[in-house]
Structure 1
Amino acid sequence: MAYACCATKNILRVSQCTRLMSVYPSHYVNPIVEKKLQSTKGNELSHIPIKAAPNDLNDTIFYGQLKQKFLNYITKEGNAVLAKELLTKTFEAIKRTQIERLNLGTADQEKVITDAETLLINAIENSRPLLTLSAIKRGGVKYQVPIPLTERKSYFLAMKWILDAAREKERKVKLPDKLAWEILDAACGQGRVIKKKDDLHRQCETNRAYAHYRWS
């Protein structure tokens, strides 16, 4: 019996040491990835232990936080190589379409944006919902109550809607081409994703009389 107790104590000690060694202590600070903050806060953190930066973060000029998040949502099983390939082909299709518009002269050349990453950011910003409906039960009846979304949730919904709209198109068309069309439409403030966001906001406006149920 005493031997079993000693063995149990040893196992607990080993597990505690392993847990402490795998987690940074509380006095470690988060790493700074953005170059703008590195120049201002670099001297302040020169003598403070810093955590290691995640593998998907870097400080190059080609890194974009929204682009990286969108990249993570493309594939469902976490195939990063395939996701990068699909996103690169999507950017190529967007660039080719915008340059063709410039050469044909069908649109105002000053308003045509040829940077694919800028168009992706504009599409996500235009697709972000501000409110959503949540079912709240009061007196045996469920009411659709409008509630505000957090910034993280709104960005997630915008990226999810763009990808879902692209996957719902014709199966004969490849995903990069379908995704490029959806991004261009959303960047211009039109398309199915923008319509979905407007419909959600319209429903929230219709049910604004139930907004007080959120706190009651």
Structure 2
Amino acid sequence: MKVSLALPSFHIHRGQALPLICNRFNEGPWRQYSQYPPTYAEPLYRKENLEEFSKSGEAESLAFTPIKAALNNQTSSIFHDPMVAKFTNYVMKTGNKALARDLMEKTFEIIKRTQLQKYHQAETEEEKALIECNPINIIHSAVENTRPLLQLTPIKRGGVKYQVPVPITEKHSYFVSMRWLVESGREKERKVHFPEKLAKELLDASRNEGRVVKKKQDLHRQCEANRAYAHYRWS
């Protein structure tokens, strides 16, 4: 007796082919991959990171490990700063990055002119040494001085919502700090444009002064006042 080994025939229409392929793709172990398998290592595109990586001896262990491709905004240029690029994205509206970069360039120009004027007006060398004229360092110090360490989150217990202080993650603290600075620069004042207002806020925050620093201190003060509700975080 002959046994037929013919497989059943499937008639797949044009509209049914894509869902079938997607279902087959989601069944395998690769369904959780975004673009690269987890065995691929993250790329190092900064020169200082490459030098530290080679000195630590970890480069030899990854000699035969595949590396992910660097993103479009990741460059080894000396003019690229990750925090400035992130700050520019927060300034941007409706995808108009050219305008956001132009505003940031004007802000840096105002900061540079202001600091150079103070530098030339200083009388002693000690006073000149204390004046920072690099806008990149000023924006770094401004963001670090306005980073919150705690935040209030509403937690409902017994029909009542309590504002419970919880520690904030490092990534979210940078986001909150830059968001506060951008919002302070966008506050409407007559005859004061956004670059001028933002430059003033960055200079004040770099000296640990200004409204954004006060906003951070008020948040910490509220967290300190609500520390009696901190146990609700684990309940």
TM-score by length of 2: 0.82
Is residue 29–residue 48 contact of structure 1 (8 Å, CA) maintained in 2? yes
Distance 1:10 1:111, change over 3 A: closer
C-alpha distance in 1 between matches for 2:148 and 2:34? 38
Which digits, 9 at most, give the CA deviation of each residue in 1:159-199, with x for residues without a partner? 00001001004143221111100100100111110010000
Superposition CA RMSD, Å: 2.7
How does 1:100-115 map onto structure 2 within 5 Å?
Answer: 100-105=117-122, 108-115=127-134
Q: Check whether the contact 1:186–1:194 (CA below 8 A) recurs between aligned residues.
A: yes
Question: Which of residues 162, 172, 187 is equivalent to 2:181?
Answer: 162
Aligned partner of 1:187 in structure 2 is 206
Structure 2 regions of 5+ residues with no counterpart? 1-8
User: Which amino acid in 1 is paired with 2:40?
Assistant: Y
Q: Look up the match of 1:27.
A: 39
1:96, distance to aligned residue in structure 2 (A): 0.1
Unaligned runs of 5+ in 1: none
Structure 2 equivalent of residue 131 of structure 1: 150
Runs of at least 4 residues of structure 1 off by over 6 A? 19-22
**Aligned with residue 91 of structure 1, among 86, 105, 108:** 108
* Deviation of the 1:112 alpha carbon: 0.8
> CA separation of 1:167/1:106 partners in 2, compared to 1, >3 Å: closer, same or farther?
farther
**What's the counterpart of residue 172 of structure 2?**
153
**Is the CA contact (8 Å cut-off) linking 1:146 and 1:211 kept in structure 2?**
yes
Superposed displacement of residue 62, structure 1: 2.1
Report the 3-state secondary structure (helix = DSSP H, G, I; strand = E; otherwise coil) of the residue aligned with 2:128: coil
Q: Choose which of 94, 102, 110 in structure 2 pairs with 1:77.
A: 94
In structure 2, give the amino acid aligned to 1:90: T
Secondary structure at 1:109 match in 2: helix
* Distance in structure 1 (CA, Å) of the matches to 2:168 and 2:34: 34
Partner-residue secondary structure (3-state), 2:133: coil
Larger radius of gyration: 2
CA distance in 2, matches of 1:22, 1:127: 34
User: Following the alignment from structure 2 to structure 1, what is the Cα–Cα distance between the partners of residues 148 and 139?
Assistant: 16
Residue aligning to 1:65: 82
Count how many residue pairs are aligned between Structure 1 and Structure 2: 216
The Cα shift of 1:24 comes to 2.1
From 135, 160, 163, the equivalent of 1:116 is 135
